[in-house]
Amino acid sequence: MEERNIREAVREAGRKAREASRRMAAASPAAKKCALETLALLLKEKESALLDANAQDLDAARRAGLDAPRMDRLRLTPAILADMAEACRYVADMPDPVGAMDSQWQRPNGLLVGRMRVPLGVVAMVYEARPNVTVDASILCLKAGNAVMLRGGSEALHSNVALANLLHEALDAAALPADAVQFIDITSHDAVSELCRLDEYVDVLIPRGGESLVRAVTSQATMPVLKHYKGVCHAFIDESADLPQALDIVYNGKVQRPGVCNALECLLVHEKAAAAFLPMVAEKLGDAGVSFRADAASLPLLGPSAAPAAPDDYGREFHDLILAVRVVRDMDEALAHIARCGSNHTEIICTTNHLNAMRFLREADASMVAVNASSRFNDGGQLGLGAEIGISTSKLHAYGPMGVKELTTTKFVVFGQGQVRK
């Protein structure tokens, strides 16, 4: 498609989304609930067709040599589709945020002032090989009264088109505007560039994918961007940690799904726990295929799966069964390492000391900080949001997994009885 035609196609999609966003902002909670429940039914009813579409994408990805982590993110299965349908039902049953009053107070002159939740308007998503994002992003945006523009990766085109068609069918069934979901099926990168310049219609842009995608989108965008560049997640094993429990937490964070953004990438161990804990790590994680990039203090404790760490191994997102390891003197050194090498995504501490736990919660700067729990819980579904449109490591206007509430903002509303300013 020629550049001029791409620009016109993206602008037309933006215009339709903007018009639809006005209707979505006024849509009843019952209509939005109906659309999401219908979508859940369609995901089951059309399972075979969706898997066929996904198989086309998987075959093409294999021929193109797509790496294992991206193949994992691209794949749809009956279980994944069932989880997507469950997310639809969960979000459908959530309280509708639109029109809710966050707070209200009365001024001395009698004015009643409040803050009301309202939709953001048009939310644009640029994402890579995750067809589930097509549904997750859409159901959250629609529940929050927004329209959504979707530009998925070319490797998931068949899957995304099939899912977008179901979204349109569900909106039609609920008498809501199908234009509230705009899927841009243009695979040229020029379409992303045009979308990034569409601030006339788009209120916020959310890139979801690798660091290079996020940086490319952020550098071009003319509207606010909610982003996270990478997930460099740390676990700090305090001297008071329950070591068998900590071992299970570290194992889950690194091994369960190493290619995702909330996988564990670096292990920090208090020097008083290192001699007991690191051989346990070497045995259990090493047996699972994990290799270690170790500092001088941890290297002799990690066995044959360990190699000396390079300086850039700390602060690196491996997307693989590789774990950076470092022994630290105390929590001060652990927190300093996290401040230097972290990415504001997820930080965890394993400890039985309440004061240490509370200090870590206060001082570790990340969108989720946890005590005695896996980094893998930094996920909208796991935290009770039903689904997520992404994990923001920006601090304005959301920090962490973004659910329905994070896809609204607030405006001031004022009730008077004829007051005038003096």
pLDDT tens for residues 20-31? 999 999 999 999
Tell me how far apart the terminal alpha carbons of the chain are, to the nearest angstrom. 60
Is the bond into 397 cis (omega within 30 degrees of 0)? yes
Angle ∠(287,249,235) on CA atoms, nearest 5:
105
Tell me which residue has tokens 């995304």: 160
Token digits for 158? 């068949």
Residue 285: how many CA atoms within 13 Å on its side-chain side?
37
The per-residue pLDDT for 411 is 97
The average pLDDT across 63-83 equals 93
CATH topology of domain 233-377: Aldehyde Dehydrogenase; Chain A, domain 2 (3.40.309)
DSSP-assigned letters across all residues of 161-224: HHHHHHHHHHHHHTT--GGGEEE----SHHHHHHHHT-TTT-SEEEEES-HHHHHHHHHH-SS-
248 secondary structure, DSSP code: H
Token digits for 149? 């523009």
The per-residue pLDDT for 240 is 98
pLDDT, one tens digit per residue, over 34-61 is: 999 999 999 999 999 999 999 999 999 9
The per-residue pLDDT for 313 is 98
Residue 221: count of CB within 10 angstroms of its CB: 22
Residue 241: how many CA atoms within 13 Å on its side-chain side?
31
311 secondary structure, DSSP code: G
The per-residue pLDDT for 227 is 87
Strands 322-328 and 264-270: parallel
The per-residue pLDDT for 400 is 94
Domain boundaries, the chain: 3-226, 233-377
Burial of 396 (0-12, 13-18, 19+ CB in 10 A): exposed
Residue (of 79, 13, 58) closest to 157 by Cα position: 58
pLDDT at 4 over 80: no
Q: Is 402 helix (H, G, I), strand (E, B) or coil?
A: coil
Q: Is 325 helix (H, G, I), strand (E, B) or coil?
A: strand
Q: How confident is the model at residue 167 (pLDDT cuts 50, 70, 90)?
A: very high
Token digits for 246? 């900590």
Token digits for 6? 């791409």
CB 304 within 8 A of CB 271: no
Q: Look up residue 42 and give its amino acid.
A: L
pLDDT at 318 over 80: yes
Residue 375: count of CB within 10 angstroms of its CB: 28
Q: Look up residue 239 and give its amino acid.
A: E
Q: How confident is the model at residue 210 (pLDDT cuts 50, 70, 90)?
A: confident
pLDDT at 3 over 80: no
Residue 326: count of CB within 10 angstroms of its CB: 23
We find that the CATH architecture of domain 3-226 is 3-Layer(aba) Sandwich (3.40)
What's the full length of the chain, in residues? 422
Backbone dihedral region for residue 121 (phi beyond 0: left; psi -120 to 50: alpha; all else: beta): left
pLDDT, one tens digit per residue, over 223-249 is: 999 988 899 999 999 999 999 999 999
Q: How confident is the model at residue 386 (pLDDT cuts 50, 70, 90)?
A: confident
The per-residue pLDDT for 395 is 87
The beta strands (E) that lie in 44-144 are given as 101-106, 112-119, 122-127
Run of H or E residues at 338: helix 331-341
